[in-house]
Structure 1
Amino acid sequence: MRGRAALGGDAQARRGGAVRSLFRTKPVDRIVAEGGRGEGGELKRSMSLLQLTLFSVGATLGTGIFVVLGEAVPKAGPAVVLAFVLAAVTALFSALSYAELAGTIPVSGSSYSYAYATLGELVAWVCGWCLLLEYAVSVSAVAVGWGSYLNEFLDKAFHVTMPAAVSNSPGDSGGVVNLPAVAVVLIATLLLLRGTSESATANTIMVFLKIGVLVFFCAVAFTAFRGGNLTPFAPMGWAGISAAGSKVFFSYIGFDAASTAGEEARNPRRDLPLAIVLSLAIVTAVYVLVGLAAVAAMEWTDFELSGSEASLARVLDEASGRSWPSMVLSLGAVVAIASVVLTVMYGQTRILFAMSRDGLVPAVFQRVSPRRSVPVANTVIVAAFISVLAALIPLGRLVDATSIGTLFAFALVSAGVIVLRRTRPDLPRGFRTPFYPLTPLLGIGFCVYLMVGLGSVTWLVFLLWTVAGLAAYFLYGRRHSRLASIAPGGAAGDAPGAGKEPS
Structure 2
Amino acid sequence: MTADPHAPVSNPHSLFRRKPIGQTPPPEQQLSRSIGTFQLTMFGVGATVGTGIFFVLSSAVPEAGPAVVVSFLLAGVAAGLAAICYAEMASSVPVSGSTYSYAYATLGEIVAMGVAACLLLEYGVSTAAVAVGWSGYLNEALANLTGIELPHAILAAPWDAEPGVVNLPAVVLVGLCALLLIRGASESAKVNAVMVIIKLAVLGMFSIIAFTAFDSDNFADFAPFGAAGIATAAGTIFFSFIGLDAVSTAGDEVKDPQKTMPRALIAALLTVIAIYLLVAFSAIGAQPWQDFEGQTEAGLSRILEIVTGNNIWGTVLAIGAVISIFSVTLVTMYGQTRILFAMGRDGMLPKVFAKVSPRTHTPTNNTIIVAIIVAILAAIVPLDYLVDVVSIGTLTAFIVVSVGVLILRYREPDLPRGFKVPGFPVTPVLSILACGYILISLHWYTWLIFLLWVAVFIVFYLVYGRRHSALRPGLRDGSDEGADE
Query: With structure 1 as the length reference, what TM-score do the two structures score?
Result: 0.91
Correspondence for 1:177: 166
Correspondence for 1:202: 191
CA distance in 1, matches of 2:386, 2:266: 26
SS at 1:372's partner residue? Answer: coil
Letter of the aligned partner of 2:132 in structure 1? V
SS at 2:174's partner residue? Answer: helix
Correspondence for 1:232: 221
Tell me the alpha carbon deviations over residues 155-180 of structure 1, each in whole angstroms, 9 at most, x when there is no partner: 22222211111111122212121111
CA-CA distance at 1:501 after TM superposition: 7.3
SS at 1:224's partner residue? Answer: coil
SS at 1:468's partner residue? Answer: helix
CA distance in 2, matches of 1:258, 1:248: 19
Which of 383, 389, 392 matches 1:395? 383
Q: Give yes or no for the alignment of 1:383 onto 2:371.
A: yes
Q: Give yes or no for the alignment of 1:270 onto 2:265.
A: no
CA distance in 2, matches of 1:76, 1:198: 40
Moved more, 278-287 or 245-254: 245-254
Q: Give yes or no for the alignment of 1:27 onto 2:20.
A: yes
Structure with the largest fraction of helix: 1
From the superposition, tell whether residues 501 and 180 of structure 1 become closer, same or farther in structure 2 (CA, over 3 Å).
farther
Are the counterparts in 1 of residues 33 and 255 from structure 2 also a CA contact under 8 Å? yes
Matches within 5 A, 1:196-345: 196-305=185-294, 307-345=295-333
Are the counterparts in 2 of residues 130 and 409 from structure 1 also a CA contact under 8 Å? yes
From the superposition, tell whether residues 28 and 224 of structure 1 become closer, same or farther in structure 2 (CA, over 3 Å).
same
Matches within 5 A, 1:89-488: 89-172=77-160, 173-305=162-294, 307-486=295-474
Letter of the aligned partner of 1:296 in structure 2? G
Tell me the alpha carbon deviations over residues 337-386 of structure 1, each in whole angstroms, 9 at most, x when there is no partner: 00001111111111111110000001111111111111111111111111
CA distance in 2, matches of 1:405, 1:221: 33
Are the counterparts in 1 of residues 234 and 438 from structure 2 also a CA contact under 8 Å? yes
From the superposition, tell whether residues 17 and 428 of structure 1 become closer, same or farther in structure 2 (CA, over 3 Å).
closer
CA distance in 2, matches of 1:487, 1:363: 15
CA distance in 2, matches of 1:492, 1:139: 41
SS at 1:23's partner residue? Answer: coil
CA distance in 2, matches of 1:60, 1:239: 25
Are the counterparts in 2 of residues 255 and 276 from structure 1 also a CA contact under 8 Å? yes
Moved more, 326-335 or 314-323: 314-323
CA-CA distance at 1:486 after TM superposition: 4.0
CA-CA distance at 1:485 after TM superposition: 3.4
CA distance in 2, matches of 1:337, 1:455: 27
From the superposition, tell whether residues 301 and 190 of structure 1 become closer, same or farther in structure 2 (CA, over 3 Å).
same
CA distance in 2, matches of 1:485, 1:322: 69
Correspondence for 1:12: none
CA-CA distance at 1:311 after TM superposition: 1.4
CA distance in 2, matches of 1:244, 1:79: 9
SS at 2:471's partner residue? Answer: helix
Q: Which runs of 5+ in 1 are unaligned?
A: 1-15, 495-499
CA distance in 1, matches of 2:302, 2:444: 31
Q: Percent identity?
A: 51
Superposed CA RMSD: 1.8
CA-CA distance at 1:77 after TM superposition: 1.0
Are the counterparts in 1 of residues 29 and 345 from structure 2 also a CA contact under 8 Å? no
Pair member with larger Rg: 1
Are the counterparts in 2 of residues 26 and 501 from structure 1 also a CA contact under 8 Å? no
Query: With structure 2 as the length reference, what TM-score do the two structures score?
Result: 0.95
Give the length in aligned residue pairs.
Answer: 475
CA-CA distance at 1:291 after TM superposition: 0.1
CA distance in 2, matches of 1:69, 1:253: 16
CA distance in 2, matches of 1:225, 1:192: 41
Letter of the aligned partner of 2:98 in structure 1? S
Letter of the aligned partner of 2:438 in structure 1? L
